[in-house]
Amino acid sequence: MQIIEDIKQGKQRILAKAITTVENETEGYKDILQNLQINFSIPVVGFTGAPGAGKSTLINALLAHVGKEKRVAVVAVDPTSPFTNGSLLGDRLRMNEHYHNPNIFIRSLATRGNLGGLSAKTIEVVDVLRSSNFDFIFIETVGVGQSEVEIAGLAETTVVVLTPMAGDDVQALKSGIIEIADIYAVNKADHESIDTFVKQLNSSLHLRPPSAWTPPVIKCIATTGDGVEELFKKIQEHHFAGSSIKRKNILLEKALRLLVAHKMKGLDKEKLKSQLAVASDAKEFNLYRFIEKYAGK
C-alpha cells in the first residue's frame, strides 16, 4: 500500500491523514492498521502527573534539547471539547515554537470520555507513529490524578512529573501514579522546599516492589531547561535497560484493551438506555441479573 510506504518515509501530511482516519474509524482504517510495519525498537515515553505539574513545558524543553538531531513524535492527550468532541489543543499551544521543525510531529488527541488519562485511540495512533521513521515517541496524558496509571500499560518508560508544591510524597503515593514511575522528574526545582521534597521522595522508594531498575529522581526547571539533559540521558538508559518481560506484558495489555474495545463496538448505548429505563421500574429489579441477561443476547 502506498500510504504505508509514505508513513514509513515520514511524510507528515500523509501521517496526519492516516492518524485521522484511524482515530475516527473512517473508510480504510482497518487496512492501514492491518498493514502497518511497526518498529517496536522505537522508544515510547509516557509523561504523567497531576494538572499543573508542568508536563507540557517539560516536554517542550526536551524537544528543544533533542529536536535538532532526533525525530520526535508527540501525542498530547487533551480534554474533550464539550462542543466539538475534539481535543481542546491546550498542549499544542504550549509547543507551538516547534511547529516548523521538520524533525518534530505533534498530534493532539481528545480523551472522548476515556477516564485513564489517555484517548481511547492512543494505542492505534502510537502504532501508526511507530511505523514511521521517528527516534522517540512522547505521550503526554491529560492530567487527571489517580487514573493516570493507564499510561504504564502503553509506554515502556513512564516519567512521573511532580512538584514540591503539590503535597508530600505520601500523598503522591496515595494517588497511585508514583508507583508506576520509571523516572521521577521533580519540576520547579527552584522552589525553596525542593531538597526536603526530594529527600522524602528518595526515602519512599523502599515502598516500591524490588526491581533491577531503581527509578532516579531528577530535579528540573522546565521553563529554563535545567535538568533536561540529565532527564533525557535517564530516558535513554531506561530504554536500553528495559526487559523483554515488560515489553511482552505491555503487548498483552494492549491486546486486552483492543479486544475490549472490539467487543464494545456492537453495544447500542441508546438501546441499552431504553431497556434499562423500562427494566428498572420493576419492583424486583436487579442490575446484575439485568446485565447477565443483556450480555447473553
pLDDT digits (tens, 9 = 90+) for 5-49: 999 999 999 999 999 999 989 999 999 999 999 998 999 999 988
Radius of gyration, alpha carbons of the chain: 21
Would you kindly state where each structural domain of the chain is located, as residue ranges? Answer: 2-261, 269-295
Measured CA to CA, the distance from residue 114 to residue 104 in angstroms comes to 26
Whole-number pLDDT of residue 213: 86
Give the distance, in angstroms, between the CA of residue 187 and the centroid of all CA atoms in the same chain.
19
Nearest Cα to Cα of residue 190 among 179, 198, 182: 198
Measured CA to CA, the distance from residue 111 to residue 113 in angstroms comes to 5
Does the structural domain 2-261 have CATH classification 3.40.50.300?
yes
Measured CA to CA, the distance from residue 47 to residue 57 in angstroms comes to 11
Whole-number pLDDT of residue 262: 82
CA trace torsion 16, 21, 27, 28 (10° rounding): 60
Q: How many residues does the chain have?
A: 297
Which residues in the chain come in under a pLDDT of 50?
A: 80-91, 113-117, 145-147, 168-170, 174
Whole-number pLDDT of residue 65: 93
CA–CA–CA angle 117, 292, 276 (5° rounding): 75
pTM for this predicted structure: 0.84
CB 43 within 8 A of CB 156: yes
C-alpha cell at 73: 513524535
Widest pairwise Cα distance in the chain: 68
